[in-house]
Structure 1
C-alpha cells in the first residue's frame, strides 16, 4: 500500500537516520564504505552526512574510521524520561535478577524485530550479551513472540509477509505456518519459552506487559541451559515475571494518565 504521506517526507533526514542506524552493531567504528553498504546509500552522500554530523557534534572521524559521539544520546533522552517504560521497569527488574540470578530485559516490538529498551544483568553475564537499543529477530525470541501474539490478525500477516524468518539455530522457527501455530499457543497462555532458538545454549521466558489488555512491551528473563530448564522457566520464573509485569504495567499507567484515560464508571 502506498504511503499517502510520502510526498511530505524529507529524504535527507531519512538518509541521515539510515546512517545513524548503521552503527547499531558491535563495531566501535566504521568506514564510509561500510556505512554506505549498510545504509544502501552512495559513498559521497554518506560522506556529506557524516561531515554534517561532525559539524553538529554527533560524529567524529579518526583517519578513515568514523564513530558516533556521546552527544547522540541526546536524541533518545526524551524516550528515557521518568515516565517512560524503561525508567519505570528498572525499579522492578532488579527484583527479578535477585530472585533468579538471571538477566532480565524489557523489549518493545518494531516491525519484525524486538528492541531491548531496558536490561539488568546478573554478575555472570551471558555470552553475546544484548545492549540497550539492540534489535533481535522477534520470531526467534521469547520477548518477540509474546508481542507478535498480541498483534491484530491483519498486522500479524503484514509482519509475516515482510519478515525474513531466518534460521539462527536448528530450533529456530522458519515456517510462517509453524510460527502462526506457536503464536496461537502463546496467545492462549500469555507467555513464551524459547529454548536455543536464537543462540545455542541460551534459553528465555517472557510475558507481555499489559495495560488495559494492550501490550506496551514485554518482560523477559534469559539464561543458559546450564542454569535453567524449560520446566524451571515455566514453573518458577514465569510466575515471577507475571507478578512483576503487572506491577510495571500499573506504575506505567499511573505515570502516564494522558495515555490511558479511565472509562467512566
Structure 2
C-alpha cells in the first residue's frame, strides 16, 4: 500500500506555530481514498496516511458525521459531498473560467479532447477538459494526476523554470518508467524540456500512456508568466506526430494567444 508523501514545502509548513495538526491529518485521510480507487478498510487508510489506527478511526467518524465519508465499520468510501471541495476550487479559479469556452472551441475544431493542467509538486493536475460531441469517454478526467517529467503538459510547465532550478528539480525526482517509451535519463529529460521551451511546445509520444500521444503549449498570464498548459491528445492509430504539429499546434497556439490578455 503506497503512503502519502509530504513535499518539502509541506514539511516546512508543519514547523510553523499556526499549523493545525488535526486538520492536516484529516486531509491526509481524505487523500488516501484516491490511491487504490476502491472502498478502504481502517488498516488500509492507516498505512496509506501513515497514521495510528486510533487516530484514523476518530477522523473517519468525524467525516462520516459530516457527510464526507460513508462506511459500515469495516469498509469506508468517500461520498459525493467531497466534490464540494473540488467545485469550490473550480468555481473560484480564474484559469478554468477563462479557458473553458476557448477549449470548447478548440476541441470542436480538432475533433479531439483538449485538456488544461497545472503543476503540483512533481505531478500535473488536470483542472479542465473539453470533448467534441463524438467523444464520450476518451481523455483525462478533472483532478487526474500524472508525473510531470513524462507528459507534454508537465514538460511545458517545468520549462518555465530557469535552467539551474530545472536541473535541481529534475535531479530531485524519482523518474519511474510509465511505458517502454518513457524517457527516464535525467540529463535527457532536462535537455528535452529546454528544447521544448525553445520550440514553444512539447510533443510526447507514448511516454505517459501506451498508445497515446499528446501535444501541449504554455498558457500565459497577461505579463507572460506561464501559469498552466493546454494539450490535445489522441490515440496513435488516429493521428501521427506530424499531423499533430500541422493540425493541432496552430489551434493550441491561437487559443493561448487569445487567453493571455484575459488572465490576470
Q: TM-score, normalised by structure 2?
A: 0.87
Instruction: Establish whether residue 51 from structure 1 lines up as the match of residue 55 from structure 2.
Output: no
Contact kept, 8 Å, 2:170 with 2:190, in 1: the verdict is no
Aligned equivalent of 1:223, options 234, 238, 243: 234
1:50-91 deviations in Å (ceiling 9; x for gaps): 111112221111352212122222223332226621122111
**Distance change (3 Å), C-alpha of 1:132 and 1:4:** closer
Equivalent residue for 1:18, pick from 23, 28, 53 = 28
Q: Is the 8 A contact 2:108 2:131 kept in 1?
A: no
Taking the aligned partners of 2:145 and 2:247, their CA distance within structure 1 comes to 27
Greater shift, 31-40 or 208-217, is seen at 31-40
Report the equivalent of 1:259.
none
Q: Which runs of 5+ in 1 are unaligned?
A: 254-265
Matches within 5 A, 1:53-202: 53-81=63-91, 84-122=94-132, 123-124=134-135, 129-202=139-212
Tell me the number of residue pairs that the alignment of Structure 1 and Structure 2 aligns.
252
Separation in 1 of the partners of 2:189 and 2:84? Answer: 38
Structure 2, unmatched stretches of 5+, are 1-7
Checking the alignment, whether the CA contact within 8 Å between 1:103 and 1:121 is kept in structure 2 is yes
Deviation readout 1:69-125 (Å, 9 max, x if unpaired): 222222233322266211221111111111111111000001110000001234335
- What is the distance in 2 between the residues matched to 1:99 and 1:181? 32
Do 1:28 and 1:67's aligned partners in 2 also have CA atoms closer than 8 Å?
A: yes
Given the two structures, how large is their TM-score scaled by the length of structure 1?
Answer: 0.87
- SS of structure 1 residue aligned to 2:209: coil
For residues 176-232 of structure 1, the C-alpha deviation after alignment (integer angstroms, 9 at most, x for no partner) is 101111011011011000100011110000000011121110000111101111101
RMSD across aligned C-alpha pairs, in angstroms? 2.1
153 and 36 in structure 1: CA distance in 2 versus 1, 3 angstrom threshold: farther
Q: Counterpart of 2:4?
A: none
